[in-house]
């Protein structure tokens, strides 16, 4: 005959088991039934997000097309008639070529000091002086314009260092240029000049690193050579278009083919240099990140080894203290 206490214990255990089974059943069934609903909701959200992305992309493309057509219809003629043609006539009558060359060199040297883009001066050098003398003017002016900010930045090195702390990511990229050997610094500076990185800021900010002057100078000159030729070519092309459109000149078939092929080569070269520079900078950043990870791993390993050694020393001391009578 079983006791009431034992029966109550059996009843309680059975009820607890049934409750667990019921809870498990409810959990499995609810989870099983809720999973398809969650999948449907997530799929609908993904579809709506993709739809919104396509709408935004189409809107941006339509806006860009409208702005391009507007600029081609009214902007280009305005720039040519009100800006470019008067400048060309002014330089032909107001200055002699030697004086104009000096003016362009001075502008290319001083504009980077005040963080002013020097592209218009390069275009003018290409339009007026062509590939030979125009290239010399651009390289002399931009070289002075890269040295002056560097020397001025040395006098305000501490302030620039504090200013760069606001942008740690950009500062980390700048530190890449100052690491390694002479050739490494030369190569990275040349890549910075070719890449879309704003070189007017680079001229000042590079002084906070351990960059040496001669790799900076020669790397800057090497990196500016492709940009100089692209500006000269685009300036010559703009002048040719202005002469044809507003100077009532005609191009032969050979000249048209030459200009089209040259334009394609210039675009491909610009894109190739930009892609190469971005890829090279990305590789340098990845290399620096890997080095930082290795340093962190080494530090962590040393810390763990130190903790193990301390633990073993403490264990020995405890063992020796227990062994004493």
User: In this predicted model, what pLDDT tens digit does every residue of 174-188 receive, in sequence order?
Assistant: 776 677 788 888 888
* 196-244 pLDDT tens trace: 777 777 888 888 888 889 999 999 999 899 889 989 988 888 888 777 7
Residue 139 lies in a domain: yes
Residue 316 lies in a domain: no
Residue 119 lies in a domain: yes
Q: At 247, give phi and psi (nearest 5°).
A: -105, 5
Query: Is pLDDT of 155 > 70?
Result: yes
Residue 22 lies in a domain: no
Query: Structural domain tally of the chain?
Result: 1
Residue 278 lies in a domain: yes
Residue 213 lies in a domain: yes
Residue 16 lies in a domain: no
Residue 177: Cβ-neighbour burial (10 angstroms; 0-12, 13-18, 19+): buried
Domain that holds residue 133: 77-301
pTM above 0.75, yes or no: no
Spatial distance between the Cα atoms of 255 and 262, rounded to a whole number of angstroms = 10
Residue 29 lies in a domain: no
Spatial distance between the Cα atoms of 275 and 250, rounded to a whole number of angstroms = 36
* 83-121 pLDDT tens trace: 666 766 676 677 778 888 998 999 999 999 988 888 888
């Amino acid at each position: 005959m079983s006791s009431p206490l034992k029966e109550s214990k059996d009843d309680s255990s059975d009820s607890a088991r049934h409750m667990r089974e019921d809870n498990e059943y409810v959990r499995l069934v609810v989870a099983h039934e809720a999973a398809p609903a969650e999948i449907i909701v997530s799929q609908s959200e993904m579809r709506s997000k993709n739809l919104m992305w396509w709408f935004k992309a189409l809107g941006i493309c339509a806006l860009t097309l409208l702005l391009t057509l507007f600029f081609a219809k009214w902007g280009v003629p305005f720039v040519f008639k009100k800006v470019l043609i008067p400048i060309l006539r002014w330089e032909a009558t107001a200055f002699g070529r030697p004086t104009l060359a000096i003016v362009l060199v001075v502008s290319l040297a001083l504009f980077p000091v005040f963080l002013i883009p020097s592209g218009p001066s390069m275009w003018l050098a290409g339009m007026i002086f062509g590939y030979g003398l125009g290239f010399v003017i651009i390289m002399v002016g931009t070289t002075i314009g890269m040295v002056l900010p560097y020397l001025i930045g040395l006098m305000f090195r501490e302030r620039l260092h504090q200013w760069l702390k606001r942008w740690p990511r950009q500062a980390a990229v700048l530190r890449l240029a100052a690491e390694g050997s002479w050739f490494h610094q030369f190569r990275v500076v040349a890549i910075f000049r070719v890449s879309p990185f704003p070189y007017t800021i680079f001229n000042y900010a590079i002084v906070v690193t351990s960059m040496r002057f001669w790799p900076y100078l020669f790397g800057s000159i090497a990196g500016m050579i492709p940009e100089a030729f692209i500006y000269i070519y685009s300036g010559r092309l703009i002048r040719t278009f202005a002469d044809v459109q507003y100077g009532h000149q005609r191009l032969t078939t050979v000249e048209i083919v030459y200009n089209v092929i040259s334009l394609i080569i210039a675009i491909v070269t610009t894109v190739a240099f930009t892609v190469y520079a971005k890829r090279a900078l990305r590789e340098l950043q990845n290399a620096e990140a890997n080095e930082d990870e290795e340093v962190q791993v080494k530090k962590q390993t040393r810390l763990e080894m130190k903790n193990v050694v301390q633990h073993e020393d403490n264990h020995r001391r405890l063992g020796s203290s227990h062994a004493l009578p």
